[in-house]
Amino acid sequence: MPVAPKPGVLPLRPLAFGEMFSAVFDTVRRYSGALYLPLAAVTGILAVPMVVASVVLAGRVRDGFEALPQAPDEPTGDQLWALFWPLMVIFGLFLLLGIVQYVVAGPLATVVLRAATLGRRMTAGQAWKEARQRIGASTASMALLYGPLLVLNVLLVGLVVLLVAVTGSPAVFLLTFLLSAAVGLGGIYAAVRLAPQIPVLVLEDSTARAAIGRAWQLNRGNWWRSFGLTMLVTLVGRLAVGVISYPLTMILSVAVPLTSMDLQSDSSRVEFGAGTMTFLLVGYSLVMLLGMLATGPLVPLVNGVLYIDRRIRKERLDIALAEAAGIHFAEAYGYAQQPAPSAPSAPSAPSAPAAPAAPYGQQPAGPSAPVPAQPAAPAEPAAPTAGPAAGPGAEEGPAER
């Protein structure tokens, strides 16, 4: 088998599972600046309100924690609400930041993967300039996919609360719970089936609605492969982030007792000082943001690799990619249809030394290097049978074809 050209991180042929997996992390390794610098800038800007909220709400969290009763007593609903509502605000800001980061990471990872596939250099400025033009369309595409699922789940939760409050029947609760689980599984199926959605949107310059239909057809029959690759890359990324963030969390846990946290002598209750809760909230928020930033481009890169593989298998994108990478005559690599060997016209007189046909793959050097068909001094009559020194003889050409 001929060897496929590989100008970048992907061989230009139908991809195996391991090749797609390694291509994701090869792109992260080779193009880390183009991937992470724009994403880090966006994350840093959006992290400011989260850090401010952590500082402002740290006192409320501390008061709610200290208002909890001792171990034998059960906390009331008001006490739990006073503790959890500021935490819910901080967590909501974290989720919002994650959504914005994913919307930005989709086009950014796609344009970087295109350069990585072709083996071209790309700076952070070039990647951001190309990606920011499709962020609006990416937002609309994500809204069309996840918006109906979110609204439907909210309606189902409201229906559960209403039916339980009115009827109080466990069977109604179980039925509504099963219906909500079915909707959730359907949402997971749709999200995996539409994995090439953002690459279609960016690389084919389509609208949000057209990208959904195109991705649905393009990824037909590839659901389990898409799901397995996404889960494996996500798991490896989480493990790597855990290895990095574990020392940071250990530093936070060691540094907390060195602040103004006091252990009461008459009970096992811990009371936090003025700056301890602020230190904890801000520190753990930054650690979580760091982990989210590190894994942000992984799933969009998986979607881009899946898109390239599906188009190679269905639409022979490998030939177009080879031409775009400057690799001409893709037939020479065996992945396009080669011309039939019987195509050259049969010479009427094999003994004629005029123009012997060159074998497949041996093309003439060009107009600047003519083939010396005849010797310079025609003194010897047997010279025409010798032929050119560099090419096959006139009688050997058709036999080799």
What are the tens digits of pLDDT across the range 75-107? 777 878 888 888 888 888 888 888 899 999 999
Instruction: Let me know if residue 358 belongs to a domain.
Output: no
What pLDDT, on a 0 to 100 scale, did the predictor assign at position 38?
Answer: 94
- CB neighbour list of residue 139: distance below 8 Å, 6 or more residues apart: 103
| Cα(199)–Cα(215) distance, integer angstroms | 9
Q: Average the pLDDT over each of 102-106, 111-115, 337-341, 364-368 and give the range with the smallest value.
A: 364-368
What pLDDT, on a 0 to 100 scale, did the predictor assign at position 387?
Answer: 41
Residue numbers of the domain that contains 59: 17-327
Sign of dihedral through CA atoms 99, 101, 104, 109?
negative
Instruction: Let me know if residue 229 belongs to a domain.
Output: yes
Instruction: Let me know if residue 351 belongs to a domain.
Output: no
Instruction: Let me know if residue 42 belongs to a domain.
Output: yes
| pTM, rounded to two decimals | 0.75
Instruction: Let me know if residue 379 belongs to a domain.
Output: no
How many domains in the chain? 1
Q: Which of 307, 361, 310 is nearest to 332 (CA)?
A: 361
In this predicted structure, the answer to whether residue 23 has a pLDDT above a threshold of 90 is yes
Distances (CA, A) of 399 to 251, 347, 360: 78, 12, 13
In this predicted structure, the answer to whether residue 113 has a pLDDT above a threshold of 70 is yes
Instruction: Let me know if residue 338 belongs to a domain.
Output: no
Instruction: Let me know if residue 361 belongs to a domain.
Output: no
Instruction: Let me know if residue 340 belongs to a domain.
Output: no
